[in-house]
């Protein structure tokens, strides 16, 4: 069982533009050609911050042509606000310290992996407590200049450990890293 931050990013390190738009991402490649289908099969629980969740509410379940909530797995949403539950989704709203939520996610995942969907600071909160094992980044062949950061933490010594690199057409380089173990605090 691993806790994995799996995301797409621009070449200059942003997972969304300054307006939370992902319009730059979708033309870059077909998700079926990426590692995502194999990755998601091994995920037992998800965590996301409220901006990511609200993006899903706007662009998926609340879109002009609504689509069902895409995850069967229970999803922990971090927010200090009261937000609506997505229809058909198993959503657990939490706030504050990520450690109790992580414990609950690991239990719910029952041996499968825990996916930190984003954003970057939420992934950083798991890293801060020594709970993040792996980082998968689909580095898109675009630069955004500004936006929501991939992982706003300084991780230098020891550095991350590069496990693999794979090209997905001309649109993505998929990078897989292991995070250095950080003592829990
Ligand atoms: N490129 C990709 O593959 C990819 C992947 C994931 C996300 N995204 C996009 O990237 C953007 C990420 O936005 P973001 O960086 O703002 O991050 P986010 O994690 O989605 O949302 C941040 C918000 O979550 C809440 N939050 C975070 N930690 C919390 C905690 N411990 N306790 C309580 N609440 C907490 C806070 O809001 P409140 O308390 O005000 O609710 C915080 O402002 C979104 O647009 C998303 O759609 C892209």
Q: What is the pLDDT of residues 34-75, one digit of tens each?
A: 999 999 999 999 999 999 999 999 999 999 999 999 999 999
Q: Which residues contact 35 (CB under 8 A, 6 or more apart)?
A: 136, 138, 166, 174
Sheet containing 113-118, strands listed edge to edge, beginning at the edge strand earlier in sequence: 91-94, 75-78, 43-49, 113-118, 3-10, 134-140, 172-178, 161-168
State how far the Cα of 144 lies from the Cα of 123, in Å rounded to an integer.
21
Confidence (pTM): 0.97
Q: What is the band of 181 on the pLDDT scale with cuts at 50, 70, 90? A: confident
Please work out whether the CB of residue 44 comes within 6 Å of at least one atom of ligand 1: no
Return the residue whose CA atom lies nearest to atom 6 of ligand 1: 118
Backbone phi, psi, residue 156, to 5° = -125, -35
| Tens-place pLDDT, residues 96-118 | 999 999 999 999 999 999 999 99
In angstroms, what is the span from residue 156 Cα to ligand 1's centroid?
24
In angstroms, what is the span from residue 55 Cα to ligand 1's centroid?
9
- Per-residue pLDDT, 150: 98
Residues facing 92 on adjacent strands: 76
- Per-residue pLDDT, 182: 66
Q: What is the DSSP letter of 11?
A: T
State how far the Cα of 33 lies from the Cα of 139, in Å rounded to an integer.
14
Mutate to test the pocket of ligand 1, among 100, 118, 128, 150 (most ligand atoms within 8 A of CB): 118
């Amino acid at each position: 069982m691993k806790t994995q931050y799996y995301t797409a990013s621009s070449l200059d390190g942003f997972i969304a533009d300054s307006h939370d738009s992902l319009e730059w991402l979708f033309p870059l490649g077909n998700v079926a050609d990426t590692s995502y289908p194999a990755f998601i099969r091994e995920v037992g629980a998800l965590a996301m911050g409220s901006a990511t969740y609200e993006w899903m509410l706007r662009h998926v379940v609340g879109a002009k042509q609504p689509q069902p909530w895409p995850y069967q797995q229970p999803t922990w949403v971090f927010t200090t606000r009261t937000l609506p539950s997505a229809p058909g989704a198993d959503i657990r709203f939490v706030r504050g310290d990520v450690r109790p939520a992580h414990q609950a996610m690991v239990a719910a995942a029952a041996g499968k992996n825990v996916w930190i969907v984003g954003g970057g600071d939420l992934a950083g909160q798991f890293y801060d407590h020594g709970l993040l094992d792996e980082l998968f980044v689909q580095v898109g062949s675009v630069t955004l200049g500004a936006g929501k950061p991939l992982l706003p933490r300084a991780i230098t010594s020891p550095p991350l450990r590069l496990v693999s690199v794979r090209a997905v057409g001309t649109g993505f380089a998929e990078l897989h890293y292991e995070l250095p173990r950080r003592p829990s605090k």
